[in-house]
Amino acid sequence: MKIITTVLALGSAALAINQKFAKNFTVFHVNPAKYGAVPLNMDTGDSYGDMFFDLHNAIAEPLECPLGASSGHGCDNPEVDDKNLAVNKLVLEMDYRFSGYAKCNIGVNGTDGHGNVCADDTYCCYCSAGGTAGRAAIPCNATVGRENVRDYFGRSSSSSHGGRCKEGSPDYECFRTNAAKKFTVANPGWWYSTLDTGACSVHPGSATNCTWRVVTVEKRVTKACRNEKFFGAVEDVDKTCFNTCPKGAGLGRNTSDACWIRCFYKAVVGQDADKPINGTDMQGIPLNTLVGMWEKAFDDESAGGCPPLEIS
């Protein structure tokens, strides 16, 4: 597998993080393939956290956004809608003195999707005094940001994302909230934000601005192949439901069809996926089994994984 010089430079041991607080983390992230594997000014997650990005953002999007980008906020995310998406698996060395998570997004129509100016086709990161839930923008610092998926998205208070699933709510809001409630204290799902202000490749040898670096790029696959592995495994859990859904133009699965999406969440969360569910009553595919299905794409091809993309 070819790893170009830029990636090797980012992984150089000469770029030193304070070793008292340094630890390796395996992370994943999806992006349009043209941006490369290195998550500079991008958000990543552990396998649980990045799987949740699919459960929360990508899979339910056709229900929330029936008119595409014109449907409103959250319906024009290139990390969901780009036609040439890649999913990346890396090992990052990080200074684990984490700070608040930064939302990093690609600029569309001059904005980052949160009301902040962002040049088109550029990754911009947004930090706030209130963490993910806050709105007042503040300058981002050099520290790696971190967010607990279970704590933030699985809460039930009316002011949080979890409060969006009530009796009469759109089903996609309940799909998202209930998916978050599957996560556990042991495996809550973590999101990380790795900004240029803390990149060792940008600030080599800095005592304060070298907080993360790429150790290795383990594998890069197309999201289309990853979806094939993941969705196929979920479909096998409840073929009866999925077999009732109309096929796509190529007579295969149609992941934009409401029937398929609803069958997916019923398999993952349980038959009451579209209703408020107490976290202790969660059904569906066990969380660790589900994440194993999600990770399958990164196995060797001989073990059923996806073919690797060239790393750039």
pLDDT for res 282: 84
Cα–Cα distance for residue pair 45/189, rounded to 1 Å: 7
Structural contact between residues 15 and 210, judged by C-beta atoms closer than 8 angstroms:
yes
The model's pTM: 0.90
Q: Which of 233, 123, 146, 226 is nearest to 193 (CA)?
A: 146
pLDDT in tens, 277-294: 887 778 999 999 999 999
pLDDT for res 135: 61
φ/ψ region of 16 (left if φ > 0, alpha if ψ in -120 to 50, else beta) reads: beta
Q: Flag whether 127 is in a domain.
A: yes
In angstroms, what CA-CA distances link 150 with 147, 194, 249? Answer: 9, 20, 37
Q: Flag whether 312 is in a domain.
A: no
pLDDT for res 6: 43
What tokens appear for 121 in the block? 């086709």
pLDDT for res 163: 63
Question: Pseudo-torsion of CA 90, 95, 101, 105, nearest 10°?
Answer: -40
pLDDT for res 15: 64
pLDDT for res 129: 75
**Bridge-based pairing state of the strands 22-32 and 85-95:** antiparallel
Residues of the chain below pLDDT 50:
1-9, 11, 13, 133, 157-160
Q: Flag whether 310 is in a domain.
A: no
Determine the residue type at 184. T
Q: Flag whether 151 is in a domain.
A: yes
What tokens appear for 90 in the block? 């890396």
pLDDT for res 67: 82
What tokens appear for 153 in the block? 């998205």
> For the chain, how many structural domains are there in total?
1
Question: Pseudo-torsion of CA 192, 46, 267, 63, nearest 10°?
Answer: 30
List the domain range (segments joined by +) for residue 188.
Answer: 5-303
pLDDT in tens, 193-236: 999 999 999 987 766 789 999 999 999 999 999 999 999 999 99
Q: Flag whether 181 is in a domain.
A: yes
